[in-house]
Structure formats: C-alpha cells, structure tokens
Structure 1
Amino acid sequence: MTITLITGANKGIGFETARQLLELGHVVYVGARDEERGGKAAAAIGARFVQLDVTDDASVSGALAAIDAAEGRLDVLVNNAGLLGEGPVDGAKALRVFDTNAVGVVRVTEAALPLLRKSANPNVVTVSSSMGSFWAVTNPERPEYGLPLTLYAASKAAATMLTVQYAKAEPGIKFNALEPGATATDMTAAFGIGRPVGESAKTVVRLATLGPDGPTGTFTDENGPLAF
C-alpha cells in the first residue's frame, strides 16, 4: 500500500486529492489544523486523520511521529496547505503567509524526510502556483499579470524554488511543484473564478502517483512544464 500525507486536506483541492488517491488504493492521512473539521473530513471519505498545523513545529513533529508509529514509512507527501493573503499588505500578514506557504513546506518536508527515505518510491508534491512564476506575472497575455496578490505570488515563488533545491539535495526522492489551475475554493471565492476541484486535483494526483523513474525538480501544470 502507498502511504500518503496531505496537508490542508480538510477541504478544497487537498480534500479532493485525498478522495481520488483513496480510490486508487492509497492509505491517506488527512492533515488539518482543526481536529473537528479534519476528523469529519477524513471520516467522510474513509481516510485517516492527523492533526497538523504547518506553522507549528510541535504539531508537525507530532503528526509525522504518529504516522511513523502507525506505518513505519511515508511514500507520498503532498504540501497543499496555503494562504492567499489578499488585501492590504503589512509585515504581520507577510509573516503569516510566508510561514504557511513557504516555511510550512520546509517544516513538513524536513520532518517527513526520515520516513520518506524508508519508502521504495518516495515522492513529494508541492501545490504551488503560476502566480509564483516571474514569466507569468510579467506577461501581459497571462491572467496572472493583473492579479494583485503580492504575498501569495512571492511565497509561491519561494515554494517552487524550495522544490527545485530539495530535488537537488535529495536525489533519492522525487520533488515536483505544480500549478493546479484556477479552482473554485474558499481561497478564490472573492474573485469569482475557478473550475471544480475535481479537475484540478487530477493534476496533483498525476504527480503523486509517479513511478520510480518519474521526473523530479519540475514545475508544471496540466499541459506540461511552466516557465519560472
């Protein structure tokens, strides 16, 4: 069985990714900050729940320790938890957004590495964004060009760079980042945009189910590689 942990998985793309991976036979751990909502989400689809706040070292360590005790390894990590950070920008908000979208990737990945190294096919997928692509946000023909999401864009650029650097530092583990596509979730409600989560989750699932010879260090969307 493939043991998979998804952060921020009590709703949105994370929840739908969990559902689709369960259908493929994965043992899925739904990671979420809120125990009640996370537990209900996991129970609704037959997944396992683990309390996990990506901004809290003790929470992250406890979550991975629980998976270690139950499974002895981790095959797939999906770094999905994220904040949009829309609206006025200040230092406090910047710290919150970067702590979740970038530092959170480091916290969870570092805690997961010992378990991933025990897997025969370890795989880390980070849900990033084309908003973090310098090419996209400076291209007037792209929708990202006109979106006022300063902190989200900057933190997702960091998340993508972390993916590339981890791929180089850990050649035995696949690390890939993706743009899942504009998706109708709580995060995008203010913009009135997005397609059903099921469509976007397919892109996450594709990377989460790569074989041993799959690529690493990539940044893609459903159509292929994206420019940084």
Structure 2
Amino acid sequence: MTAHLSTESAFPDYWEEALFYLSERDPVMKRLIERYRHIEFTAHESVIASILRAIVGQQISNKAAATLWMRLCRLKQGRWDSFIMVTPINALRSLGLNPRKIAAMKEVAWRFVCGQWTEEGFARMDDATVSRAIESIRGLGPWSAMSVLIFALKRPDIFPLDDFGVRQALVNLYFSDENVISVGRSGAKSRVKLLANVWAPYRTVATWFLWRSLENTPLEKESE
C-alpha cells in the first residue's frame, strides 16, 4: 500500500551488509543499489498496523488505499486493537470501508485484544508461521503475509514473486524474453528461482531495489 502515515524511516540492521553482499554477487543489482541506495526503507509501525493496512488495500488501487488509510489514521485514538474494537461499524463504513474489510479488521483487533496475537509473539514466529497466521484471516493471502514480513517484521529473506511490480522489474532487468504474466508461471519459475538464490539470504533487500527500479511505491499487487 502507499499510505505514508504512521511509518518510520529506518534501515534494518542487516541493510548495509546486504548491499555489499548483493553488489558483489549481481552486477545488475549493484547498479540498482548505486542508483537508489539513498532512498530509505519505510517500515510499518507495528504488526497490527501492517495487517490492517493490508486489509484496507485489498482489491483497490494504491491511491484509494492511501486515502482510506489516512482517513483511518486521522480517526484513530489510542492503540490500534482497542480503537478498531470500540469504533462502531457505521463509523468505519463512513470512511469508505466495506463490510468484509470491517469484519476482517474486527477479527484482527479481537485477536490482539484477547491476547491470541501479540507483537512479541509475531516477532518470535518463523516466516512460515507468520504467513499461516496472517492467511487465517479471511481475505488475506500470501501478498498480505509478505507485506507484514517485509515492512513490519523486517525479515531479510522474503521474495514476493506474486507481486506485480516484482515480476515487471524481473522482466525489465533480467528476463526480456518473458512478460509480467509468463515470468510467474512454472516455465520461467526455475530461472527466477536460480536468480533469487543468488540474492539469498537478502532477498528482501533485492526485492526493495526491484521495486525502486520501477520508481514506484512497493507492493503493487494483484487480488489475493
């Protein structure tokens, strides 16, 4: 999503090491890093905020998602979980949120309020467990899980091939014989996997620079 409220500009502690590592292993990535390394990594303030942002952005444009998220941030008081729980459905609908999104947001808030989910608990989970937790919310899929892993938990080795922007950058920079659809299909996936293996264990950082090569905001997604 593209909303820029409630974010922090802070590179993860592995960032500089990753830049050196990727530059040594991939000349294309080295050129991207030289061009875009001045752009700061913008993290989400918390896991719950990241999940809520993912819900807000479902099946709408980045611009519409940014508008909805800003409206929600302006209305918010206190903690995200208690705010969502106590805010009447009609008040959330007046912001432009549909009933399905409101139900999902209420479910997320309830899991945090009752202690089923905690920020600390997510921090202790491995990547696969985080993904399963996020995807247990109706309407949230792999894209949402990867958004949380990258922007809230700052995990270093996440590679969202299903992201439209990532696929477009791969076609532009590495696989000119493919297109944004075919590069995600089985025929090309083995080639993409070989490339992504070159970037491990810093595929998150490589992904960030793929997005930057488009001079666009991260996570231009398709519907989950």
Name the TM-score, length of structure 1 as normaliser.
Answer: 0.30
Give the strand-richer structure, 1 or 2: 1
Asked which structure has the greater RCO (Cα within 8 Å, sep 6+), the reply is: 2
Name the TM-score, length of structure 2 as normaliser.
Answer: 0.30
Give the helix-richer structure, 1 or 2: 2
